């Protein structure tokens, strides 16, 4: 893979942020290192991967994790590195660590959830409030005949009841099935049926840009194909008049009426199934990643504590949906740490583009997490919407979901962070319950870079033979198991082994291109299965896209590789123009030539796009990942595979039309 110029791609950048002595001194990570006599972060990284049993036991202690019955072994690898068993013999229900243990302590009076709706409604729930509401729902679920091992879906907007339901399912030993609130009926049916779900939490609808969007009718259509569902609990959010099926459907308020605010927590095994989160594949049915009580939640809390430095006095707002892993990540991680979270249900730019900054000010957000796509979408409005508000409560910024471009990173750093706050880049995924690589508050930062591997993740960058590479682009891999890694795909172990363990013996190949520079800073450069190879030259799509979006007329871009008889592959680019630019239908041949020449200048003529098409939007998942495989399949006239995770499926139709029309 070639390197773009320093101006456009994030290699060879200078360090722009250094932690102050005060930031280091008060950080959880420094206290953790001091407790274990580790002088440097490098020493900690080395020990956390050389002795994974020591590290995760140290994490249990640091997070104050309480077990009903102790483990006899931190990790058992007797079945092979692909199938570790964690916390052998232990009894643990994560809800005890999220809620039960805080009752009777000062934490019970701390605000756990600060919620705001698009219409302006605000609700605050303390830990004690949340504990009581979770118990009421747990009691109601048990009264409905639901219990340990029963899968229960969550098809809800980001209201407090979504978090309450999630915790109540775990409390009774059930299995949480998070579903993206924008799913269509087919995607919902596929997931619920695959898990043989017995119940579903759903809202009547949700509010977006002042309009009520139905959810219950979508669920009803899905449930026609899911005979295992016995109970549907409907939360009244939008006020829509929705049909109710007698004997199956019940309003939330009626469901919990008369239930006690105290309820026992099921004493599950530490490795009992907690949650199945489905991710989309390039073909076939979605993959159900399997997570346990001692896996996903503990990894989430550890990443928050050691990566984002979340402490009990912090308030985290991550722009997410409960159907993306960052939703359960936020709820479970924050509550284990005894901190506060913000949940917002609505469009992030409604009724004005300053909505997110208003949320930060109103709720005293100290850690804000967004996607680079959001930053790029909000940048054209300038600095003024941010400057309307006092965002001085912020002390840490987060970024996840995709590779960041230099212009977006600098805007976020300077305009939101005032050039003083660290941007903790965070990359991994649903399959690992959080980060493989992450920033932290102890290490200096370069634009778009990661400080290094996440603690406890034996990450490396390797060539096609599995040999480590530095200063060049390779595959992101993990050489040791980590507690957050999925325990496999639901009812499909062979597919799991094929997806992650088949390319290099006993090495997890994540499917991302990455690089490590001479200063030990890491970079994620896009999916390796999206790689373009032109006349023997490998180029990641993010590299081409970074050059394209440097043009003042371009807001977003997606680059794909298509077959070419002479070169093997050629580059094709789809481009979204900035607001106020010429309409897509009138985009000029001059602009096409400008963009082709720009890439040729920056990357070399062989890597210039053979074709440039202008579109209004690119197909994306809820977590803002551009679905290049869908774009490529559509361009080539091939089946696009699973589209259920797309937030904007109409973009696929436009791409098809642009291909036909030229």
**Has residue 5 got a pLDDT over 60?**
no
Give me the residue label for tokens 């796009």.
Answer: 609
Residues of the chain with CATH 3.30.300.30: 539-661
**What is the β-pairing status of strands 231-235 and 175-178?**
unpaired
Question: What whole-number distance in Å separates Cα of residue 350 and Cα of residue 356?
Answer: 9
Which has the minimum average pLDDT: 35-44, 103-112, 403-412?
403-412
Residue 284: pLDDT band (50, 70, 90) is low
Predicted confidence band of residue 559 (pLDDT cuts 50, 70, 90): very high
Tokens linked to 581: 């630019």
- Give the per-residue pLDDT at 585: 52
Question: Which of the 8 DSSP states describes residue 511?
Answer: E
**Model confidence band, residue 9 (pLDDT cutoffs 50, 70, 90):** very low
Name the strand (E) or helix (H) holding 356: helix 355-363
Answer whether residue 21 shows pLDDT above 80. Answer: yes
**Contact, 219 vs 155, CB < 8 A?**
yes
* Residue 426, pLDDT above cutoff 80: yes
Higher pLDDT, 331 or 539: 331
What is the chain's mean pLDDT, rounded?
A: 92
Identify whether the C-beta of residue 358 lies closer than 8 Å to the C-beta of residue 389: yes
pLDDT at res. 280: 63
Domain ranges in the chain with CATH number 3.40.50.12780: 21-100+291-526
Residue 4 has pLDDT above 60, yes or no: no
Comparing 133-142, 310-319, 575-584, 591-600, which segment has the lowest mean pLDDT? 575-584
Q: Which of 62-66, 506-510, 560-564 has the lowest mean pLDDT?
A: 560-564
In degrees rounded to 5, what are phi and psi of residue 346? Answer: 160, 180
Strands (E), 230-328: 231-235, 249-251, 273-279, 287-292, 315-318
Sign of the Cα torsion 43, 438, 369, 160 reads negative
Q: Cis before residue 351, ω within 30 degrees of 0?
A: yes
Model confidence pLDDT, tens digit, residues 446-493: 999 999 999 999 999 999 889 999 988 899 999 999 999 999 999 999
3 state DSSP class of 106: helix
Helix (H, G, I), strand (E, B) or coil at 594: helix
Q: pLDDT above 70 covers what percent of the chain? A: 95
Residue range 421-428: average pLDDT? 96
pLDDT confidence of residue 347: 94
**pLDDT tier for residue 282 given thresholds of 50, 70 and 90:** very low
Please give the pLDDT value at position 538: 62
Mean pLDDT across 23-42:
96
Residue ranges of alpha helices (H) inside 183-325 are 185-194, 216-223, 252-256, 296-306
Q: Which residue has the higher pLDDT, 4 or 580?
A: 580
Task: Write phi, then psi, for 80 (nearest 5 degrees).
Answer: 110, 160
Closest CA relative to residue 127, chosen from 300, 304, 335: 335
Q: Of the given ranges (352-366, 435-449, 608-622), which has the lowest mean pLDDT?
A: 608-622
pLDDT of residue 579: 83
CATH homologous superfamily of domain 539-661?
Answer: ANL, C-terminal domain (3.30.300.30)
77: left (phi over 0), alpha (psi -120 to 50) or beta: alpha
Task: Considering the chain, tell me which residue range(s) the CATH 3.40.50.980 domain(s) occupy.
Answer: 131-256
**Tokens for 189?**
């049916």
Distance CA 521, CA 502 (A): 28
Residue 247 makes CB contacts below 8 A (sequence gap 6+) with none
User: Poorest-confidence range of 8-17, 319-328, 570-579, 601-610?
Assistant: 8-17
Query: pLDDT-derived band of residue 186, with 50, 70 and 90 as boundaries?
Result: confident
pLDDT above 90 covers a percentage of the chain that reads 76
Condensed to tens digits (0 to 9), the pLDDT of residues 53-89 reads 999 999 999 999 999 999 999 999 999 999 999 999 9
Residue 8 has a pLDDT of 40
pLDDT per residue as tens digits for the range 217-272? 999 999 999 999 999 999 999 999 999 999 999 999 999 999 999 999 999 999 99
- Which class in CATH covers the domain with range 131-256? alpha beta
> According to the model, what pLDDT value does residue 255 have?
98
235-244, 261-270, 546-555, 583-592: the lowest-pLDDT one: 583-592
Provide the 8-state DSSP code for 489.
B
> Is the CATH number of domain 21-100+291-526 3.40.50.2300?
no
Q: How confident is the model at residue 6 (pLDDT cuts 50, 70, 90)?
A: very low
* H or E element at residue 57: helix 52-63
Q: How many helices (H) and strands (E) does the chain have?
A: 21, 29
Report the predicted TM-score, pTM, of the whole model to 2 decimal places: 0.87
Residue 214 pLDDT > 50, yes or no?
Answer: yes
- Kindly state the DSSP code that residue 286 receives in the 8-state scheme: P
Question: Given its phi and psi angles, is residue 453 left (phi above 0), alpha (psi -120 to 50 degrees) or beta?
Answer: beta
What is the model's pLDDT at position 3?
Answer: 34
DSSP 326: H
Q: What is the average pLDDT across 647-652?
A: 88
Confidence of residue 7 (pLDDT cuts 50, 70, 90): very low
At 152 the pLDDT is: 98
- Decide: 146 and 231 in contact? Cβ < 8 Å: yes
Residues 592 and 613: their CA atoms lie apart, in Å, by 8
Q: What digits encode the pLDDT tens for the residues 525-544?
A: 877 777 787 766 667 787 78
**Cα-based distances in Å from 470 to 74, 386, 521:** 33, 39, 10
Ordered alpha helix ranges (H), 622-661: 628-636, 650-661
Q: What number is the average pLDDT over the span 562-575?
A: 86
């Amino acid at each position: 893979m070639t390197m773009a110029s320093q101006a456009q791609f994030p290699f060879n950048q200078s360090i722009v942020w250094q932690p102050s002595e005060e930031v280091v001194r008060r950080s959880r990570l420094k206290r953790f290192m001091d407790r274990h006599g580790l002088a440097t972060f490098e020493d900690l990284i080395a020990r956390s991967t050389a002795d994974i049993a020591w590290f995760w036991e140290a994490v249990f202690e640091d997070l104050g994790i309480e077990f009903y019955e102790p483990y006899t072994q931190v990790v058992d690898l007797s079945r092979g590195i692909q199938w570790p068993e964690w916390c052998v013999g232990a009894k643990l229900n994560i809800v005890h660590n999220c809620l039960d243990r805080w009752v009777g302590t000062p934490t019970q009076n701390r605000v756990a959830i600060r919620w705001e709706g698009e219409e302006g409604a605000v609700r605050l729930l303390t830990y004690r409030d949340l504990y009581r509401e979770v118990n009421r729902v747990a009691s109601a679920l048990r009264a409905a005949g639901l219990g340990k091992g029963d899968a229960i879906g969550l098809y809800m907007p980001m209201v407090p009841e979504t978090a309450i339901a999630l915790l109540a399912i775990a409390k009774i030993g059930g299995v949480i099935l998070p579903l993206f609130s924008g799913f269509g009926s087919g995607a919902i049916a596929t997931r619920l049926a695959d898990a043989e779900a017995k119940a579903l939490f759903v809202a009547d609808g949700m509010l977006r840009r002042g309009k009520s969007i139905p959810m219950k009718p979508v669920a009803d259509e899905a449930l026609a194909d899911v005979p295992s569902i016995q109970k549907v609990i409907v939360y009244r959010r939008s006020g829509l008049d929705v049909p109710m099926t007698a004997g199956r459907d019940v309003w939330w308020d009626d469901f919990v009426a008369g239930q006690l605010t105290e309820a026992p927590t099921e004493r599950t095994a530490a490795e009992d199934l907690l949650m199945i989160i489905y991710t989309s594949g390039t073909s076939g049915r979605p993959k159900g990643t399997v997570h346990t009580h001692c896996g996903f939640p503990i990894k989430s809390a550890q990443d928050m504590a050691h990566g984002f430095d979340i402490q009990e006095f912090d308030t985290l707002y991550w722009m997410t949906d409960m159907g993306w892993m960052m939703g359960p990540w936020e709820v479970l991680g924050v509550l284990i740490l005894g901190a506060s979270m913000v949940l917002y249900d609505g469009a992030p730019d409604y009724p004005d583009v300053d909505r997110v900054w208003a949320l930060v000010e109103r709720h005293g957000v100290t850690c804000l997490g967004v996607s680079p796509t959001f930053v790029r979408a909000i940048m054209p409005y300038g600095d003024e919407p941010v400057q309307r508000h006092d965002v001085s409560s912020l002390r840490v910024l987060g970024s996840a979901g995709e590779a960041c471009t230099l212009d977006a990173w600098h805007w976020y750093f300077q305009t939101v962070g005032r050039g003083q706050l660290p941007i903790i880049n965070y990359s991994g995924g649903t399959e690992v319950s959080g980060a493989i690589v992450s920033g932290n508050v102890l290490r200096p930062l370069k634009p778009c870079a990661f400080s290094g591997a996440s603690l406890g993740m034996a990450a490396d960058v390797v060539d096609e033979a599995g040999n480590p590479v530095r200063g060049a682009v390779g595959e992101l891999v993990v050489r040791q198991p980590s507690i957050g890694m999925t325990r496999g795909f639901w009812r499909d172990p062979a597919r799991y082994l094929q997806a992650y363990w088949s390319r290099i013996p006993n090495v997890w190949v994540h499917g991302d291109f990455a690089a490590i520079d001479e200063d030990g800073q890491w970079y994620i450069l896009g999916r390796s299965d999206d790689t373009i190879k032109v006349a023997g030259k490998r180029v990641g799509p993010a590299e081409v896209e970074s050059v394209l979006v440097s043009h003042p007329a371009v807001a977003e871009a997606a680059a794909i590789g298509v077959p070419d008889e002479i070169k093997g592959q050629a580059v094709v680019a789809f481009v979204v123009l900035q607001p106020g630019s010429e309409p897509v239908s009138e985009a000029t041949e001059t602009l096409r030539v400008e963009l082709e020449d720009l890439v040729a200048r920056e990357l070399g003529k062989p890597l210039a796009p053979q074709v440039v098409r202008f579109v209004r939007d690119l197909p994306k998942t809820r977590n803002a990942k551009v679905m290049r495989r869908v774009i490529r399949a559509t361009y080539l006239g091939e089946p696009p595979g699973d589209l259920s995770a797309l937030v904007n499926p109409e973009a696929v139709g436009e791409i098809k039309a642009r291909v036909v029309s030229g």
